[in-house]
Amino acid sequence: MYRVSDIIEELLWRELIAQSTDLGVLSQACAAGPITLYCGFDPTAPSLHLGNLAQILTIRRFQDHGHRPLALVGGATGLIGDPKMAGERTLNPREVVDEWVGRIRGQLERFYSFDGENAAVMVNNYDWTEGVSVLEFLRDIGKHFSVNRMLDREAVAARLAKDGISYTEFSYQLLQSFDYLVLHQKYGCVLQTGGSDQWGNITAGVDLIRRVESTSVHALTTPLLTKADGTKFGKTESGTVWLDASLTSPYAFYQFWLNADDRDVPTLLRTFSFKGRQEIDALIESTTSAPQARAGQKALAEELTDLVHGEQERAGAQAAAVALFGGGDLADLPEKTLEAALMEAPHAVLDASEIVDGQLPVIGELLARSGVTASKSAARRTIAEGGAYANNVRITDESWHPTTADLIHGKWLVLRRGKKAFAGIRASI
């Protein structure tokens, strides 16, 4: 594993520092010996996503340099919800939040080491929030907060200018600050990290600790990621890229990185890869000088899919990509992998009534219905030009009917136009 003398030095060359309270003092503290730090993750969905992954891996980098991470799952703050500019959150039932806490805890456990001198500690803020009375919280915590400063927070100001904000969400900053105070008192935590949109919440915790404990602690945020085309990072046409394989398949996850814009590759490598500086610089140079090779995208897809889903799932995603474009036997792909890949592609469903005596509709109709060609006439032209394939077999007869025997895993027919466009037909039989 790579190491550098200073974690702050590494974060700087990776361009992962957006804001900090006093970077020089923090660097000195990190160099003097192991520190304890944390980042919180609220269970506002059943899974973490790629935006969360940037924070998870930043904490992981600190642990790789000998520091101790606290992995906080917000069982309490997840019941409230951090204010969004778009509007008030819908509060989830307690049992739903509890279930999501368990799922997110399991995801976080994959990324940290819980052994050794700097073993990570999993914490849940519900444990120390549950027993605090309203009066106790208002007297001991709320008294230290200026409403004027809280109103200055960007999300709060935007909401006040629009539809207003509930006291519930307005109080979120106090709860997050209370977390930092408790973790400082119990574990000696001296650094909280997060995305740059969390700067106000994090520095409010720094200020609370200064007022209560008369000591200084640190805050550090990473830049929010956006794509070169202006769209939100971690989003695709089909939605958010989740870390849970049941929400975003390993194949779709792998393809997300493989399809990254060349312009985004340098930032993505610095943010997500654990490769060293020399190797990352070489991949960036290759992406610039030989973009057709997609070296940076392939490196990201392999490393991140291994990290999030494991080597076996990554190998399956790679095999599926090869087979779907004619480079392997589709029948060798596990049913789950093939289905995940085809569900990400254009596809159509055949009702059982459309299969007569074991025959599916004629190939031209299937090509058009699946979306691999724009119309039946376009399908006929594709067949005549030798560019139509079913299960990687070239089809030259426009009157050909596939049969149920052609269905892979008894369900799927894979259609392809040329070398780059594929689609699926799923038969309900």
Q: What is the CATH number of the domain that holds 256?
A: 1.10.240.10
Q: Are 170 and 156 in contact (CB under 8 A)?
A: yes
* 323 and 367 belong to one structural domain: no
> What is the structure's pLDDT at 2?
37
237 pLDDT more than 60: yes
Residue 358's domain comprises 345-429
* 158 and 281 belong to one structural domain: no
Whether 337 maps to a domain, the answer reads: no
Q: Give the relative orientation of helices 250-258 and 295-309 as an angle to the nearest 10 degrees.
A: 150
Q: In the beta sheet, which residues pair with residue 390?
A: 393, 415
Pairing state of beta strands 388-390 and 412-417?
Answer: antiparallel
> What is the structure's pLDDT at 229?
85
* 214 and 127 belong to one structural domain: yes
* 199 and 233 belong to one structural domain: no
> What is the structure's pLDDT at 231?
82
Whether 413 maps to a domain, the answer reads: yes
> What is the structure's pLDDT at 1?
38
Give the number of residues written for the chain. Answer: 429
We report the CATH number of the domain holding residue 144 as: 3.40.50.620
Lowest mean pLDDT among 55-59, 80-84, 420-424: 80-84
Lowest mean pLDDT among 114-118, 145-149, 271-275: 145-149
* 86 and 150 belong to one structural domain: yes
* 363 and 251 belong to one structural domain: no
Whether 334 maps to a domain, the answer reads: no
* 352 and 312 belong to one structural domain: no
Q: Are 219 and 206 in contact (CB under 8 A)?
A: yes
Q: Which of 293, 328, 363 is the last residue of a domain?
A: 328
Q: Residues near 359 by Cβ (< 8 Å), separated by ≥ 6?
A: 401, 402, 403
* 66 and 197 belong to one structural domain: yes
Mapped onto helix, strand or coil, the DSSP state of residue 1 is coil
Closest C-alpha to 330, from 391, 387, 389, 388: 391
> What is the structure's pLDDT at 4?
39
Whether 44 maps to a domain, the answer reads: yes
Q: Which of 197, 224, 251 is the last residue of a domain?
A: 224
We report the CATH number of the domain holding residue 387 as: 3.10.290.10
* 305 and 429 belong to one structural domain: no
| Phi, psi (rounded to 5 degrees) for 63 | -65, -35
Pairing state of beta strands 347-350 and 239-240?
Answer: unpaired
Whether 333 maps to a domain, the answer reads: no
- Please identify which residue in the block is written with the tokens 């093939």: 338
| Phi, psi (rounded to 5 degrees) for 424 | -125, 150
Mean pLDDT on 320-328: 87
pLDDT in tens, 22-44: 999 999 999 999 999 999 999 99
% pLDDT > 90, the chain: 79
Whether 117 maps to a domain, the answer reads: yes
Residue type, 237: E
Whether 247 maps to a domain, the answer reads: yes
Q: How confident is the model at residue 89 (pLDDT cuts 50, 70, 90)?
A: confident
* 175 and 306 belong to one structural domain: no
* 67 and 146 belong to one structural domain: yes
Per the prediction, the chain carries an average pLDDT of: 93
Closest C-alpha to 48, from 109, 91, 95: 109
3-state secondary structure 40-77: EECCCCCCCEHHHHHHHHHHHHHHHCCCEEEEEECCCH
Among left, alpha and beta (phi > 0; psi -120 to 50; other), residue 72 is beta
% pLDDT > 70, the chain: 99
> What is the structure's pLDDT at 304?
98
Return d(Cα 337, Cα 238) in angstroms, integer: 18
Lowest mean pLDDT among 142-151, 153-162, 252-261, 341-350: 153-162
pLDDT in tens, 129-185: 999 999 999 999 999 998 888 887 778 888 888 888 888 889 999 999 999 999 999
* 400 and 419 belong to one structural domain: yes
Q: Which of 224, 250, 265 is the last residue of a domain?
A: 224
Closest C-alpha to 419, from 349, 325, 346: 325
The number of domains in the chain is 3
The Cβ of residue 340 has, within 10 Å, a number of other Cβ atoms equal to 22
Q: What is the DSSP letter of 88?
A: P
Whether 2 maps to a domain, the answer reads: no
Mapped onto helix, strand or coil, the DSSP state of residue 19 is strand
Q: How confident is the model at residue 64 (pLDDT cuts 50, 70, 90)?
A: very high
Mean pLDDT on 406-419: 93
The pTM for the full model equals 0.89
